[in-house]
Every structure is written in structure tokens, then in C-alpha cells.
Chain A
Amino acid sequence: MSYFSFVKTELKNLFSKPATRPYPQQPRKYAERTRGHIENNMDVCILCGLCSKKCPTGAITVDRTGKTWSISRFSCIQCGYCVESCPKKCLSMKQTYTQPDAEKKTDTFVKPEQPAPAAQPAKPAADAAKQA
């Protein structure tokens, strides 16, 4: 049994840098493997639908006639099962987490017309879907 056994730690804490980070001024560094969110490179995607079949939560919807690939960001559990099963390797796991939101949103990626005009990327369409 001892008294004042915490004093050493307490004094060390007083004269050392804080263990926490001033977020959001200093954002955190993600590890290389951090599972943040799924991105799809629509130029390569063949809309085979394997990812939507494999997804444990059914977050991915593939529409072949409309040529769109959409993911419900709030259903996705970032397990990476779709990335593994993708035959064309167009799906990838990005490190940043999705933004918080007031409502459950779905991001839609549109397949560019073939032959693809050099830069008619999926991003603007995805942004438009976000605003809609």
C-alpha cells in the first residue's frame, strides 16, 4: 500500500505535450490500410454486378440498362468484400471516411458512353447526385 503513487504520472503530464490532437486544425493521419470508403473507377467497370451480389449489407446497386453503379454510403460497412471479388479490380478502398450527413445518401457513378470521350469522368455525376 502506498500513498501519492500517481504523483509522478501527474507531474509528467503537467510538463509534457498533450496526448490528444487539436482536431480539426490538425487532421489525423490514416494508416495505409485504413478502410474509409469505396470508390469505383467507372472507365474500367463492366457492371457485372458481382459486387452487389457479394455485399453483405446489400449496399451496392448495379443498373445495367441505366449504366449506373450506386452505393448507399450509410449501409456500407467498409468490409472490402466487394473489392476482393471484383473481376476487373476497378473497386478500391480509400482511406478517408465518408462525411457525416443529416440524411442517408446514395452515391451514384455513371458509366461513360463507349467509346469514352477522354475526360467525361464519373465525379461530376456523383456530385450532381449528392446535390439532388
Chain B
Amino acid sequence: MSKRSVVPFGPHHPVLPEPIHLDLVLEDEKVVEAIPSIGFVHRGLEKLVEKKDFNEMAFVAERTCGICSYMHGMSYCAAIEHIMNVEIPERAKYLRTVWCELSRLHSHLLWLGLLADGFGFESLFMQSWRLREKILDMSEASTGGRLISSVNKIGGQRKDVDNAMLRGFVEELDKMEPEIREMARTFLNDSAVRSRLDGVGVLSKEKAHELGAVGPFLRASGVPYDIRTTGYLAYGDIDFEPVTSDIGDSYARTVVRINELFQSIDIIRQVVAKIPEGDVAVPVKGFPNGEYMMRVEQPRGEALYYVKANGTKFLDRLRIRTPTFANIPPMLEMLKGCQLADVPMLILTIDPCISCTER
């Protein structure tokens, strides 16, 4: 057996925009163990609920993450609505679904860009971010913000989007689809890209399930687990199947995310075709009293919102479990046996969002 050595990775690393630290135990060039430490950007969001009005907290909740911001705000509001027994109008549910899928599209395109940048293919990175920009323009046109939407409130949505604009989005997405397909051709078939992705960081189906992986990371290992199938918001009326792959390596994760792009476009098409007319919000009176556990499928995986209220305007407890937090143990398992040079890219393949994780 060769001598073991420990190489520190992070918290600041060129490939990671956010701070996570790993102690990589190496045997020659091979990683045998990875020991994580997080907590570099902790913001104490869960403590903040004790002094922020539960209405104002919706704006704080959507700042948990800069990428899946819409879904954070939405799941917080949905949790409070469940506690207060508020049924939001159908149109608001459909609008929420559109915005959720738009944020999934931009998040996956962002990730594809970061992955391309991770293995050094810069023009491919530019291509996927060029496409992402169109999604962000749609976000801005409909919500007023590129990423931080601030359209969620308890009882529905603060803004309505007229049907003409929604149909415009579908037309725009129709035009984008061939462009995404063209870009995906390079991601999925190019020999240089395949040589970096094929067979790297394999996570078996059993291990993924056992260690509690979520989202595309889990689905790439062959488990068809997608919270959207529980039918929250308008997903119950929409026809879709979770995208899976059986291989479980980095290539499979790319395939799953690329196919989810097309799935999201398809969901938006269905939602826009079915969206009912009506109000987008109902008036809400009083203070929440009780507790609720809200689960949503974010671009990175399942996020969990636990809210406990006590009948005053301040909440007792807000616990957020973000997808990256759940994906760290399976990521450590996946790193075992890989080459040191592959570590940065392997960490990217789980689509880490460290600031989310720290809350």
C-alpha cells in the first residue's frame, strides 16, 4: 500500500463559486476518502424568523438561494397557506408552475455552462449561458426581476401574467428548443466531452438511495423519484414522467439534466394550454397557527420546508433542508476511488449550491 497524504480542497477553489472545504485523503493520485466541512457562509436565516413578520419572511425565504430563488419563496408561502387553510386560486397554481419550470430551465442551463467551464470547454459554456439569458429575460418580463422574482405572497401571486405574454413565452421556447438540441449534441456526443464524463464518479442505485441523494443526482442513478409526481401546484394535471438514467456516472447526470430541459419546456406548453382564467390571489386574514412540512422539487432536487407557527405574527421555527445538503453524503461516496484531477468536476456534477446549504 502506498503512503497516504491529505490534500486540502477549497474553501476557495477556481472551479467553485462558493466555499466548501474538503480534506481529500489520497493514495498516490487516487482519492480514498473525503472529509467535508461547511459553515463558511452561514447566515442564520432560521433565527431571523423570530424577529421578522411572517409576511416579510417571504422575501427573506426567496433569498436563501440566488438560483432557485423563486421556488424557495413559493414553498415558504405554500407552507404558510397550508397552515392557514388557504386555498389559492387555480390560476395562481398554474402561474407558479410556469415560474417553477422557468427557474428549472435557467438553473439547468447555468449548470451545463458551469460543467463545460469545469472541464475547460469555454465556448460551450458561453453557448449555454447565451440560451439562459433568454429565460432570464422571460423572468424579468413576467416578474420584474431576473432571478429574485418577489411575486410570491401568502394567498397567491402578487402579479398576474396575461395569456398573450404566456403564449409569447411558449413561442420563444419553441424557437429555443432546436438551439438547445444543437448544444446538447456537443454535450452528449462529442468525444472530448465524453472522455471527461464517461464512467467518472459512478454512484450505484443502492448507494444513492441509501445515502439519501435527491434530484437529478438520484435520478441519474436510476431511481425515478421526483416530488413533482405527488401533484402539488398544477403538476397533478400535467402529463410527465421523471427523467432517469441507469448508468449513474457524470455522463448520466448530464443526460438527465438535458432531458429535463426538454421536459420543462413541455410542461410549460401544457400549463399554458390549460391555464384557467380568474384571480391570482385571495385575501388572507389572521396569523398562522400550527405546523406544516412542505416538499418541493427544485432544480437541484427535493427541498424541504418545515414551518411551525404559534398564532402570532412571528413564526416559532423555520427549517429548510436544501437539496445540496442532502447530496453531500452521496457526493463523498462518489468521490471515493476517483482521480484527484476529476474532483472539481465531480463536485460540480451534483450541482452544488453551498450558500443554500448554509442558509
Chain B contact residues: over half helix, strand or loop, or mixed? Answer: helix
Set of chain A residues within 8 Å of B150, measured between Cβ atoms: 35, 77-80
Q: Which of A31, A32, A78 has the most CB of B within 10 A?
A: A31
| Interface: B143 (CB within 8 A) | yes
Interface pair B142/A9, CB less than 8 Å apart: no
Closest Cβ neighbor of B56 among chain A residues:
A56
List residues 21-66 of chain A with CB under 8 A from any CB of chain B: 31-35, 54, 56
Contact A5 B123 (CB under 8 A): no
| B28 touches A (CB below 8 Å) | no
Instruction: With CB as the reference atom, state the residue of chain B lying closest to A32.
Output: B141
Give the residues from 64 to 99 in chain A that come closer than 8 angstroms, CB to CB, to chain B.
77-81, 84, 93
| B158 interface hit (Cβ, 8 Å) | yes
**Cross-chain contact A33 with B144 (CB below 8 angstroms):** yes
B191 touches A33 (CB 8 A): no
Is there a chain B Cβ closer than 8 Å to A19's Cβ?
yes
- Residue pair A31, B189 in contact (C-beta under 8 Å): no
**Residue contact A19 to B130, C-beta cutoff 8 Å:** yes
Q: Does A103 lie at the interface of the complex (its beta carbon under 8 Å from any beta carbon of B)?
A: no
Number of residues from B at the complex interface, CB < 8 A: 29
Q: How far is the CA of A2 from the CA of B159 in the complex (A)?
A: 47
Contacts of B53 in A (CB 8 A): 56
Q: Is B145 an interface residue (CB 8 A)?
A: yes
What residues of A have a CB within 8 angstroms of the CB of B191 in the complex?
Answer: 1-3
Number of A interface residues in the complex (CB < 8 A):
24
**Nearest neighbor of A95 in chain B, beta-carbon distance:** B144
B123 engages A10 (CB within 8 Å)? yes
Name the contact of B186 in the complex, choosing from A6, A19, A31, A78 (C-beta under 8 A): A6
Task: Check: A104 CB closer than 8 A to any chain B CB.
Answer: no
Query: A93's closest neighbor in chain B, by CB?
Result: B144
List chain A residues, Cβ under 8 A from B185: 2, 5
B143 touches which one: A1, A13, A33, A93 (CB < 8 A)? A33
- Bound Cα distance A5, B192 (Å): 10
Check B145–A35 contact: CB distance below 8 A: yes
B183, A56: Cβ atoms under 8 Å?
Answer: no
Partner of A80, one of B52, B144, B182, B186: B144
Are B123 and A33 in contact (CB-based, < 8 A)?
A: no
CA distance A79 to B186 in the complex (A): 40
Contact partner of B189 among A1, A10, A56, A93, CB < 8 A? Answer: A1
Determine whether A17 belongs to the interface, using a CB cutoff of 8 Å to chain B.
no
The answer to whether A56 and B127 touch across the interface, beta carbons within 8 angstroms, is no
Q: Does B60 contact A (CB under 8 A)?
A: yes
CA distance A6 to B194 in the complex (A): 13
Is B137's CB within 8 Å of the partner chain A? yes
Q: What B residues does A5 contact at CB under 8 A?
A: 185-186, 189-190
Besides A56-B60, A80-B158, 18 other CB < 8 A contacts? A1-B189, A1-B194, A2-B185, A2-B190, A2-B191, A5-B186, A5-B189, A5-B190, A6-B123, A6-B186, A13-B123, A19-B130, A33-B140, A33-B143, A56-B52, A56-B56, A77-B59, A78-B145
A-B contact pairs, 9 of them (CB 8 A): A9-B127, A9-B182, A31-B140, A32-B141, A33-B140, A56-B56, A77-B59, A77-B150, A78-B150
